[in-house]
């Protein structure tokens, strides 16, 4: 220990006991050196025959005893008051840097009472060390607890963060997945993609409302589906490619028209009125619906616009609104579509005839030229369409097919369009002035499509026969227009021998026969132009 334990007795001045760390001191201020007592102790520990050595507190030579006794004596007033103190006394000597604790008590019987004062002197540094050790121990313990708490808190925080992120991700996915799908589909709707609208119309449960957990998102999906169904229904009243083109231009619909170079197409079913009178209405509508659908699909397949249905009549055109057709390409596309329509109609005809239904044939007229294209009507109701002389001409050519007994007639602008002569076999049928038009129009029959690379490419027998068919008739037509009716008649006889029943050749041969009988003076005013008096 750093301190001293000092014992003092009153009454008799002898030491009753001591400790290794203290000095016995009596009430008179005498002190006994514990070491001398220990040295004078009998082997059996008997102190009764030994006279202890006595010292006064200020003559012990021990600075701790002297300082503590002096300080406590001064603190209480005198040493006797210290002995008579009933309570434990603890004081600090700041000058000596000690803390003194004193306790007075009595021992022995009434006749031989001994009064003791036990003084414990400890350096202040000893307390500081204990306090510092306790503080450090507390800090270590607190630090350990804090570390555990931090780890625990961090673990819980991490768990909650992971759970929170997972929940947020699930919630975000539940919201964003249908929204992303809607956004993608809205792009398709914005571009008015016909195939996509058909998918929506056929599958109204596309978004699966039962799988969408957010009610508001489910409502948005339902509203979008209803909107798409409405647009899909609306697209059936107008050509979807036309609407798609107008939507992509992002212009408001206003009345107005502009010039456009187009290829106009008209088609009509031959003998439809008679067919309607003889067939059951349901059968007729089934045939007509199939015909119109297949013909329209072919037009749209080749970039055309189906403008109108008037009964069994189809009006279509190419390059309005202007598309990315190069020079002549829209005319080539129109002729390709016309031939494909005739092929499809032949397939339908065979199927219907096998069921005992009447044969259905179609007449077509195609014209290339300038028209007015745009919105016409009123501010409240308008439609996109074509207006102009060439529109009427296409309708007239479709009507002339009946007179000439051919499937498709085109004008000279179509014949002279870039790429047409190389891609198609056409023959000159006549030179006419249709009703309502004073100018002459050379009309040609669309016979067939030539093989790619014509005339250098290898051709089949049918290709060669079609080429000879067109060339032979063109030669006879040239003789007729020069006024050489006899030669033209002979050429037509030879032509009909190869192609019996050909209506244009039969008509032209009849004209040659009549003109060959006419006097020469009457032939001076003759022209090959045929004036049409009927539409």
Handedness of CA 459, 465, 468, 474 (dihedral sign): negative
- DSSP letter, residue 25: B
Please, what is the average pLDDT of the chain? 80
Residue 439 has pLDDT above 80, yes or no: yes
Cα–Cα nearest to 22, from 118, 116, 108, 93: 118
pLDDT given at position 298: 96
Helix (H, G, I), strand (E, B) or coil at 184: helix
C-alpha 91/C-alpha 76 separation (Å) is 11
Task: Report residue 65's pLDDT band, with 50, 70 and 90 as the boundaries.
Answer: confident
Q: What is the 3-state secondary structure (H, E, C) of 502-515?
A: CHHHHHHHHHHHHH
Q: Domains of the chain: which residue ranges?
A: 4-125, 130-234, 250-418
Cα–Cα nearest to 33, from 49, 10, 13, 15: 15
**What does the pLDDT look like over 24-39, one tens digit per residue?**
444 444 554 444 433 3
pLDDT given at position 535: 66
pLDDT given at position 34: 40
C-alpha 34/C-alpha 30 separation (Å) is 12
DSSP code per residue over 296-350: HHHHHHTT-EEEEEETTEEEEEESSS--S--TTHHHHHHHHHHHHHHHHHHHHHH
Q: What percent of the chain has pLDDT over 90?
A: 39
Q: What is the 3-state secondary structure (H, E, C) of 271-310?
A: CHHHHHHHCCHHHHHHHHHHHHHHHHHHHHHCCCEEEEEE
**What does the pLDDT look like over 289-332, one tens digit per residue?**
999 999 999 999 999 999 999 989 999 999 988 777 877 799 99
User: 490 to each of 70, 429, 447, 472, 494, how far by Cα in Å?
Assistant: 167, 17, 23, 12, 6
Average pLDDT over residues 257-275: 93
Helix (H, G, I), strand (E, B) or coil at 61: coil
**What does the pLDDT look like over 300-312, one tens digit per residue?**
999 999 999 998 9
- DSSP letter, residue 159: H
Handedness of CA 54, 56, 57, 60 (dihedral sign): negative
According to CATH, the superfamily of the domain at 250-418 is: Nucleotide cyclase, GGDEF domain (3.30.70.1230)
C-alpha 493/C-alpha 506 separation (Å) is 9
pLDDT given at position 40: 37
DSSP code per residue over 364-414: EEEEEEEEEEEEEE-SSSEEEEEESHHHHHHHHHHHHHHHHT-SEEEEHHH
Higher local confidence (pLDDT), 196 or 423: 423
pLDDT given at position 56: 65
Cα–Cα nearest to 268, from 298, 292, 252: 292
pLDDT given at position 20: 37
Longest dimension (CA), the chain: 194
Strand segments, DSSP code E, in 131-221 are none
Exposed / middle / buried, residue 404 (Cβ in 10 Å: 0-12, 13-18, 19+): buried
Average pLDDT over residues 197-212: 56
Length of the chain in residues, anyone? 535
Cα–Cα nearest to 450, from 530, 529, 332: 332
C-alpha 78/C-alpha 69 separation (Å) is 10
Would you tell me how many other CB atoms lie within 10 Å of the CB of residue 527?
Answer: 11
90-93, long-range: CB within 8 Å, 24+ apart, which pairs?
A: 92/124, 93/67, 93/68
Residue 247 has pLDDT above 80, yes or no: no
C-alpha 210/C-alpha 129 separation (Å) is 74
pLDDT given at position 213: 57
Whether residue 212 contacts residue 178, with contact meaning beta carbons closer than 8 Å, is answered with: yes
Task: Report residue 458's pLDDT band, with 50, 70 and 90 as the boundaries.
Answer: low
pLDDT given at position 9: 43
pLDDT given at position 246: 67
pLDDT given at position 202: 54
Average pLDDT over residues 237-248: 69
């Amino acid at each position: 220990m750093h301190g001293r334990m000092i014992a003092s007795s009153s009454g008799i001045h002898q030491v009753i006991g001591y400790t290794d760390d203290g000095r016995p001191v009596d009430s008179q201020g005498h002190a006994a050196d514990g070491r001398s007592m220990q040295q004078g102790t009998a082997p059996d520990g008997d102190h009764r025959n030994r006279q202890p050595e006595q010292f006064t507190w200020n003559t012990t030579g021990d600075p701790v005893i002297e300082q503590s006794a002096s300080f406590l004596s001064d603190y209480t007033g005198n040493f006797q008051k210290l002995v008579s103190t009933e309570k434990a006394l603890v004081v600090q000597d700041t000058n000596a840097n000690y803390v003194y604790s004193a306790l007075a008590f009595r021992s022995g019987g009434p006749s031989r009472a001994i009064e003791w004062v036990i003084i414990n002197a400890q350096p202040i540094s000893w307390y500081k060390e204990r306090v510092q050790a306790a503080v450090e121990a507390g800090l270590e313990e607190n630090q350990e607890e804090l570390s555990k708490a931090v780890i625990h808190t961090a673990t819980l925080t991490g768990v909650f963060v992971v759970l929170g992120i997972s929940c947020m991700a699930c919630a975000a996915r539940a919201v964003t997945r249908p929204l992303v799908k809607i956004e993608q589909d809205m792009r398709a709707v914005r571009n008015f993609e016909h195939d996509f609208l058909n998918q929506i119309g056929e599958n109204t449960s596309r978004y699966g409302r039962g799988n969408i957990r957010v009610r508001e998102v489910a409502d948005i999906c339902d509203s979008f589906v209803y909107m798409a169904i409405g647009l899909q229904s609306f697209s059936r009243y107008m050509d979807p490619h036309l609407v798609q083109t107008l939507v992509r231009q992002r212009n408001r619909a206003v009345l107005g028209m502009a010039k456009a170079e187009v290829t106009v197409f008209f088609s009509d079913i031959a003998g439809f009125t008679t067919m309607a009178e003889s067939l059951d209405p349901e059968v007729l509508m089934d045939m007509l619906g199939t015909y119109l659908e297949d013909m329209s699909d072919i037009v749209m397949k080749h970039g055309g616009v189906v403008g109108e249905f008037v009964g069994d009549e189809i009006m279509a055109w190419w390059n309005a609104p202007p598309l990315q057709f190069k020079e002549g390409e829209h005319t080539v596309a129109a002729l390709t579509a016309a031939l494909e329509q005739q092929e499809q109609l032949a397939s339908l005809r065979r199927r219907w005839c096998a069921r005992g239904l009447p044969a259905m044939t179609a007449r077509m007229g195609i014209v290339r030229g300038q028209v007015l294209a745009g919105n016409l009507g009123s501010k409240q109701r308008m439609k996109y369409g074509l207006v102009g002389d060439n529109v009427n001409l296409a309708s007239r050519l479709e009507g002339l097919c009946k007179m000439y007994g051919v499937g498709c007639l085109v004008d000279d602008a179509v014949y002279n369009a870039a790429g047409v002569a190389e891609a198609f076999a056409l023959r000159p049928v006549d030179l006419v002035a249709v009703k309502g038009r004073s100018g002459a129009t050379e009309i040609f029959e669309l016979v067939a499509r030539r093989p790619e690379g014509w005339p250098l490419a290898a051709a089949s027998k049918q290709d060669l026969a079609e080429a000879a068919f067109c060339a032979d008739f063109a030669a006879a037509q040239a003789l007729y227009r020069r006024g050489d009716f006899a030669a033209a008649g002979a050429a037509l006889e030879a032509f009909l021998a190869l192609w019996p029943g050909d209506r244009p050749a039969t008509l032209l041969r009849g004209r040659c026969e009549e003109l060959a009988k006419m006097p020469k003076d009457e032939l001076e005013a003759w022209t090959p132009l045929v004036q049409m008096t009927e539409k």
